[in-house]
Amino acid sequence: MEQYLPLFFVGVIGFSLLTYIILDGYDLGVGILLSLAQDDEKDQMIASIGPFWDANETWIVFGVGVLLIAFPAAYGLVLTSLYIPATIMLIALVLRGVSFDFRAKARTQYRAMWNHLFAFGSVVAASSQGWMLGAYVMGLESTALRNTFALGIAVTLPALYVMLGCAWLLIKASGSLYAKAITWARWTVLPMGLGIFLISIATPMVSDVIADKWFSLPAAIGLLPIPISTMLAYAVIVWVLWHESLLEQGFAWLIFVGLVVICLMSALGLAYSIYPDIVINKMTIWETAASTASLKFTFYGVALTLPMILIYTVFIYRVFSGKATKLSYE
């Protein structure tokens, strides 16, 4: 029991953050795209994420909360090392929330300003998350090479979010916005794929620990399903995007599924690269875990809370399924 409890909580944290990246990723992506749309399309974009975006952010709060309780030493190290980008991200998320509400209540001449601030907050939040992810993968060490790597993730992650946003709009939007979502996705899919490819190559080059894990036999053979699945998912996305007949037949949802597969494979690859550390070369899972008594107490809270969040998430997505309806603040 003592050995497996820390693994359980690491799994919960990983699942929560992966779910956050997918769910909040698409609404951040929609936010980034907001400035490219016409006024009536902006309302449709906001309507497509309106019922979900607050709930989506629950996952990062839950994941970070579990990290604090189950691995307090790791929480302290990670948040101290990433204090500045984390603060910038939180300010950007607050700006998004303020802009979301004020755009509906502002006079017509000020609405464009709040739309731009919503888009700006989305870009900054996505880039901050990318920087934090890159810095974490590099073991929270600050060197010129590793900062350049973090900068690469800070550019690539927003591209992934934009693709998720486009895929979401292909599911929820209609009319001219649907057509624009296809165009935006076609613009973004190649830079996103190139970014993921370059990051995949750069990661083992800047981290000897990760290189040893991925390029030693027989592990290298056993890990082949991860890059193969990623490439197949990317191929499906490109195939659907450039075949009008598939889009017309309602297969646009395959783009979102393909992106989910890419996110999942990336998460599995990252988990393998880091294990058994919770911070590479600094702390193992068991070294930083709270006492067994604390973990047992927390286990019951997580076992109660996690299913409730899952049920609530599934419920709201079922209730608000289908195409987005006309935006109303009545």
Residue 229: is its pLDDT beyond 90? yes
Q: What's the full length of the chain, in residues?
A: 330
Residue 190: is its pLDDT beyond 80? yes
Find the mean pLDDT for residues 189-205: 84
Quick one: pLDDT at residue 212? Answer: 81
- At residue 292 the predicted structure's pLDDT band, cuts being 50, 70 and 90, is confident
Q: 52, 313 in Cβ contact below 8 A?
A: no
Q: 227, 214 in Cβ contact below 8 A?
A: no
Q: What is the DSSP letter of 243?
A: -
32-65 pLDDT, tens digit per residue, is 999 888 888 888 898 888 888 888 889 999 999 9
Find the mean pLDDT for residues 125-141: 88
DSSP annotation string for 112-166 = HHHHHHHHHHHHHHHHHHHHHHHHHHTTT---HHHHHHHHHHHHHHHHHHHHHHH
- At residue 328 the predicted structure's pLDDT band, cuts being 50, 70 and 90, is low
Residue 67: is its pLDDT beyond 60? yes
Q: d(Cα 163, Cα 116) in Å, to the nearest integer?
A: 20
Q: 128, 92 in Cβ contact below 8 A?
A: yes
- Least confident residue range of 63-72, 190-199, 213-222, 293-302: 213-222
Residue 109: is its pLDDT beyond 80? no
Residue 100: is its pLDDT beyond 90? no
Calculate the average pLDDT of the chain.
87
Q: d(Cα 11, Cα 271) in Å, to the nearest integer?
A: 9
The token duo for 186 is: 């076609």
Find the mean pLDDT for residues 224-228: 90
The residue to which tokens 């006492």 are assigned = 291
The residue to which tokens 């019951």 are assigned = 300
Residue 12: is its pLDDT beyond 60? yes
- At residue 108 the predicted structure's pLDDT band, cuts being 50, 70 and 90, is low
Q: d(Cα 321, Cα 323) in Å, to the nearest integer?
A: 7
Residue 170: is its pLDDT beyond 90? yes
Domains of the chain: 7-319 (1.20.1630)
- At residue 330 the predicted structure's pLDDT band, cuts being 50, 70 and 90, is low
Find the mean pLDDT for residues 282-307: 89
Quote the percentage of the chain above a pLDDT of 70: 97
Q: d(Cα 10, Cα 278) in Å, to the nearest integer?
A: 8
| Inter-residue long-range contacts of 326-329, CB under 8 Å, 24+ positions, other chains counted | 326/43, 326/44, 326/47, 327/43, 327/44, 327/46, 327/47, 327/50, 329/104, 329/105
